[in-house]
Amino acid sequence: MGWLQSLFSPLKKLWFRLNSTQKKRRGIYILYEDVKSCPYEDVHVLWSILVESHPPPAPPPPPPPPSTLPSKQ
């Protein structure tokens, strides 16, 4: 029975990690919708400060170009 647990343990960890990431994104979206519907200007100002202080993550660097050196024959 231990082999079954060793098989499912990594899958369980992966599932929890992916599920928690989705919950975090969904929470931010719900908060964004609440801010949009709020009539107070102060809330919108605070939201803009929050968004500006946390820029989106930088895109990954481009892959290196293929080698242009002639191959040895």
**Closest among 1, 50, 57 to 9, alpha carbons compared:** 1
**Does residue 68 sit within a domain?**
no
- Mean pLDDT over 52-60 rounds to 72
**Does residue 2 sit within a domain?**
no
Banded model confidence at residue 67, pLDDT cuts 50, 70, 90: low
- Supply the range of the domain harboring residue 45: 11-53
**Does residue 3 sit within a domain?**
no
Name the domain count of the chain.
1
* pLDDT one-digit tens code per residue, 9-45: 777 787 777 777 666 667 777 888 888 998 999 989 9
Going by C-beta distance under 8 Å and a sequence separation of 6 or more, which residues neighbour residue 43? 35
**Does residue 69 sit within a domain?**
no
**Does residue 64 sit within a domain?**
no
The rounded distance, in Å, linking the Cα atoms of 58 and 42 is 29
pLDDT score, position 72: 60
**Does residue 72 sit within a domain?**
no
pLDDT score, position 8: 72
**Does residue 47 sit within a domain?**
yes
Q: Does the pLDDT of residue 73 top 60, yes or no?
A: no
**Does residue 67 sit within a domain?**
no
